[in-house]
């Protein structure tokens, strides 16, 4: 039992380090040896956790998206927040965090789409799955906002969730180029504060 718990903890550390390094250095710039060294485990032990670097990256992708889904769900679970208020609270918190990080990193999923989206089927499938789960949580918030009368109903929640995900990814890329959260702010104002409104 203790051994299984220790293995799970080491795996979590590998995934946490993988998120940090893949964001900072990209897939091709991240060496397994660097990840293992940072976590403090011998190279041969890596294959006790993952079959390959590609499988590791796919697991990192799923690990990366989970806190964002949980954070948005946390806002949705607050009974005093409407669906629209939950979405706005979530996205403005993301903007504050991006400013705190001084515009570095952006979104791991967006970064990897550009780097290996066409060359690794394993990672492409992991990114598609992660984006789908994230989009579905956004769609849940939009559906709640529609039921409450805050969001327009002539567009489906799925259409609006896809639009928000796509616009946000583009805004994150522009944020890195412009070294400013202004593109993120405009994305929120134009969609959540205007286009989505009833």
Domain ranges for the chain, please list them.
Answer: 52-195
Residue 196 CA: distances (Å) to CA of 86, 116, 155, 160: 14, 33, 9, 7
| Greatest CA separation for the chain | 57
CATH level 2 (architecture), domain 52-195: Orthogonal Bundle (1.10)
Residue 107: exposed, middle, or buried by beta-carbon count in 10 A (0-12, 13-18, 19+)?
A: buried
User: What is the pLDDT confidence band of residue 8, given thresholds at 50, 70 and 90?
Assistant: confident
DSSP lists the bridge partners of residue 151 as: 197
Instruction: Collapse the DSSP code of 100 into the 3-class scheme (helix H, G, I; strand E, B; otherwise coil) and give the result.
Output: helix
User: What DSSP character marks residue 3?
Assistant: H
Tokens read off for 38:
């940072």
Mean pLDDT, residues 15-26 taken together: 95
pLDDT one-digit tens code per residue, 96-113: 999 999 988 889 999 999
Residue 37 has pLDDT above 70, yes or no: yes
| CA gap 82, 85 in Å, rounded | 5
- Mean pLDDT over residues 163-176, rounded? 95
Contact indicator for 73, 139 with CB cutoff of 8 Å: no
Burial class (CB in 10 A: 0-12, 13-18, 19+), 196: buried
């Amino acid at each position: 039992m203790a051994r299984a718990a220790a293995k799970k903890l080491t795996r979590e550390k590998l995934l946490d380090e993988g998120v940090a390094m893949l964001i900072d250095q990209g897939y091709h710039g991240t060496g397994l040896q660097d990840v293992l060294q940072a976590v403090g485990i011998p190279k041969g032990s890596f294959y006790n956790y993952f079959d390959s670097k590609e499988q590791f990256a796919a697991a990192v992708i799923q690990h990366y998206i989970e806190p964002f889904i949980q954070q948005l769900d946390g806002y949705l679970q607050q009974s005093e927040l409407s669906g629209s208020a939950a979405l706005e609270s979530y996205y403005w918190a993301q903007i504050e965090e991006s400013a705190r990080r001084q515009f570095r990193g952006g979104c791991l999923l967006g970064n990897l789409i550009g780097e290996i989206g066409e060359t690794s089927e394993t990672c492409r499938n992991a990114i598609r799955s992660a984006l789908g789960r994230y989009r579905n949580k956004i769609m849940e918030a939009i559906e709640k906002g529609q039921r409450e009368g805050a969001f327009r109903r002539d567009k489906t929640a799925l259409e609006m969730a896809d639009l928000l995900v796509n616009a946000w990814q583009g805004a994150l890329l522009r944020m890195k180029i412009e070294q400013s959260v202004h593109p993120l702010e405009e994305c929120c104002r134009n969609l959540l504060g205007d286009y989505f409104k009833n």
